[in-house]
């Protein structure tokens, strides 16, 4: 990757144009009244088309995507994004459809929603889906709204709390707070699972429900899920499934069968749609049959959710079909366990046993600390990986371990890629033992070295005009 140091504003020269519009053949409309007219200058760049193309091409070359290389970012399920998905989403028959066109004009689009609902219901064991949410956290929020709506519709207004394990994704408690629920944290056991004994005293008539992801963020299956669901249901609460970790269960286990009442899926994780550098995603929410009446009044996005993303996921499901679904789950679990077993000699594995699609190391076995030399941290390992052409795993999450390094390979990486990653991870561990400074100064050959984040936060420069 080569460093490129321009902002598009810096390419601007008065009089250049990058657009081409039809000749105006209409009579002039009345002028906008002076009191309503923009007075400020409009300092957008004036750039030619070739300049724009080259600028963004140069920017793209400072970026790393799944198509560039291995991206073992835990909990993000960075699987391959099939290209047929992109092709079908761009078809003019879909891309040109106005969201307010009525059912008679949008039969093809509505069919996509119907077929997707059927497929997701089959995959998850849920009864019905809403496709309005635009991301995973948006799905969580919607699901919690449905949870509250259910209790409100029954006149059960005392339920103001939601139980969230300490290993949960940060979005879980944040979504609960946005939804007006009080978060009660339940601790994990030494073996990484929810502490059922600690859960019991938290349960009473004020509990709206419990949010869980299973397997949890350590990649471990919550083996007591049946008991947990029975306990929560026993006090009248609902079970919410955070679908961020759905990938290992594809074709093997259905959240609906485990006692979950509400769940979201991340189509941009499990269903192969590209993450786009941070969206657009899609977070459809599924509910069990007894919650269907809670759906209609909840409107969380302007029209019908991210239809373009839903289309991509539909193409993926058609390709998978019932024949290949199970392989998604199985291969993702196989690859994760393989990496874990191959690397646990060099990286601390806090909890032994089979994992699902991901697992967490707690830093290096030998971080190279000696005398006055600090040992290499998880951050240093992550930065060194970049030098070898790999994206880093998720780091410092979950919060249960100080040096968490969370690795998720997905089912679309070959054994050769995975072996190359394992080799590099061993090499980095050996470097750390020998001289941790090699890691601490990494990355050595990325477009930039480590940036000064403290100054960025202390003296925020957040737009081009702040730089002038």
Partner 1 sequence: MAGFPYFPHTEADVRSMLERIGVGKIEDLYADVPKEFVKKGAYALPDAMSEPEVRAWLNALAGMNAKMKVFVGAGAYDHYTPSVIPYITSRSEFLTAYTPYQCEISQGTLRYIFEFQSMVCELTGMDISNASLYDGPTAAAEAMKMAIACTKKKTRVLLSKTLLPHVVKVVETYAKFHGVEIGYVPATDGQTSLEALKAELAKDDVAGVIVPETNRYGIIEDHTGFADAIHAVKALLIEYCDPSTLAVIKTPAEWGADIAVGDGQSLGIPLCFGGPYVGFMGVKKEHMRKMPGRIVGQTTDKDGKRAYVLTLQAREQHIKREKATSNICSNESLMALWVTVYLSLMGPNGLREVNKLSSDGAHYLYDELVKTGKFEEVFPGKPFLKEFVLKPKKFPGLLQRDLEQAGFFAALDTEEGYVSFCVTEQRTKEEIDELVKIVKEG
Task: Find the binding residues for partner 1 in span 346-405 (CB under 8 A).
Answer: 353-354, 382-383, 386, 391-392, 394, 397
Q: Does 245 bind partner 1 (CB under 8 A)?
A: no
Range 182-201 burial, b when 16+ CB lie within 10 A, else e: ebbebebeeebbbbeeebee
Binding segment for partner 1 (CB under 8 A), chosen from 221-229, 234-242, 361-369, 424-432, is: 221-229
CB-nearer residue toward partner 1: 92 or 371:
92
Closest approach of Cβ 428 to partner 1, in Å? 15
From candidates 235, 279, 362, 438, binder to partner 1 by CB under 8 A: 279
Residues in contact with 187: Cβ distance below 8 Å, sequence separation at least 6, in sequence order: 165, 166, 195, 198
Q: Is 290 in the site for partner 1 (CB under 8 A)?
A: no
Count CA atoms within 13 Å of residue 140 on its CB side: 26
Give me the phi and psi of 127, to 5 degrees please.
Answer: -100, -45
The DSSP bridge pattern shows strands 207-212 and 161-165 to be parallel
Does 296 participate in binding partner 1 (rule CB under 8 A)? no
Interaction with partner 1 in 325-344: which residues (CB under 8 A)?
325, 327, 330-331, 333-335, 337-338, 341-342
Interatomic CA distance for residues 107 and 97, integer angstroms: 11
Based on CB atoms, which residue is closest to partner 1, 124 or 433?
Answer: 124
Of these, 188, 235, 317, 359, which contacts partner 1 (CB under 8 A)?
Answer: 317
Residue 295 interacts with partner 1 (CB under 8 A): yes or no: no
Q: Which is nearer to partner 1, 363 or 391 (CB)?
A: 391
324 or 370: whose CB is closer to partner 1? Answer: 324
Q: How far is CA 448 from CA 83, 261, 379, 442, in A?
A: 30, 47, 16, 10
**Count, residues near partner 1 per rule CB under 8 A:** 199
Pairing of β 285-287 and β 128-130: antiparallel
Contacts to partner 1 from residues 50-89, by CB under 8 A = 52-53, 55-57, 59-68, 71, 73, 76, 78-82, 84, 86-88
CA-to-CA distance for 391 and 382, rounded, in angstroms? 8
- Judged by CB under 8 A, the stretch of 202-210, 235-243, 292-300, 365-373 that binds partner 1 is 292-300
Query: Which one of 137-145, 203-211, 233-241, 369-377 is the stretch in contact with partner 1 (CB under 8 A)?
Result: 137-145
CA distance 133 to 282: 6
Distance CA 406, CA 317 (A): 27
C-alpha span between 92 and 63 (Å, rounded): 29
Rounded to a whole number of angstroms, the minimum distance from the CB of residue 186 to partner 1 is 14
114 binds partner 1 (CB under 8 A): no
């Amino acid at each position: 990757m080569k460093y490129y140091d321009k902002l598009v504003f810096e390419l601007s020269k008065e009089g250049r144009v990058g657009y081409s519009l039809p000749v105006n053949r209409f009579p002039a409309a009345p002028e906008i009244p002076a009191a309503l007219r923009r007075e400020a200058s409009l300092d957008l760049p004036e750039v030619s088309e070739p300049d724009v193309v080259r600028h963004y091409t140069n920017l793209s070359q400072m970026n790393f995507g799944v198509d560039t290389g291995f991206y073992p970012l835990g909990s993000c399920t960075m699987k391959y994004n099939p290209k047929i998905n992109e092709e079908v989403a761009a078809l003019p028959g879909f891309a040109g459809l106005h969201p307010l066109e009525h059912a008679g004009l949008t039969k093809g689009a509505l069919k996509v929603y119907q077929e997707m609902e059927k497929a997701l219901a089959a995959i998850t064991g849920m009864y019905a889906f809403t496709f309005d949410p635009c991301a995973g956290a948006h799905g969580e929020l919607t699901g919690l709204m449905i949870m509250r709506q259910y209790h409100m519709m029954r006149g059960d207004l005392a339920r103001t709390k939601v139980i969230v394990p300490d290993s949960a994704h940060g979005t879980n408690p944040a979504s609960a707070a946005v939804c007006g629920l009080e978060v009660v944290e339940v601790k994990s056991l030494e073996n990484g699972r929810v502490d059922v004994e600690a859960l019991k005293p938290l349960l009473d008539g004020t509990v709206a429900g419990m949010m869980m992801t299973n397997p949890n963020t350590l990649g471990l299956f919550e083996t007591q899920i049946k008991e947990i669901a029975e306990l929560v249901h026993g006090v009248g609460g609902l079970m919410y499934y955070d679908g961020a970790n759905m990938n290992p269960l594809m074709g093997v286990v259905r959240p609906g069968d485990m006692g979950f009442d509400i769940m979201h899926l991340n189509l941009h994780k499990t269903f192969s749609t590209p993450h786009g550098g941070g969206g657009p995603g899609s977070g459809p929410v599924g509910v069990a049959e007894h919650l269907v009446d809670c759906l209609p009044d909840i409107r969380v996005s302007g029209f019908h959710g991210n239809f373009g993303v839903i289309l991509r996921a539909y193409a993926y499901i058609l390709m998978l079909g019932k024949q290949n679904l199970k392989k998604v789950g199985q291969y993702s679990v196989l690859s994760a366990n393989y990496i874990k077993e191959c690397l646990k000699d060099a990286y601390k594995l806090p909890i032994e046993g089979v994992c699902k699609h991901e697992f967490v190391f707690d830093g290096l076995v030998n971080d190279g600390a000696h005398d006055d030399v600090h040992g290499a941290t998880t951050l240093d390992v992550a930065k060194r990986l970049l030098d070898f052409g790999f994206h880093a795993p998720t780091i410092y999450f979950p919060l249960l371990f100080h040096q968490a390094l969370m690795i998720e390979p997905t089912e679309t990486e070959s054994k050769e890629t995975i072996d190359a990653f394992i080799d590099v991870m061993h090499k980095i561990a050996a470097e750390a033992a020998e001289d941790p400074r090699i890691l601490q100064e990494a990355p050595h050959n990325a477009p930039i070295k480590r940036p000064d984040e403290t100054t960025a936060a202390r003296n925020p420069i957040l737009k081009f005009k702040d730089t002038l």
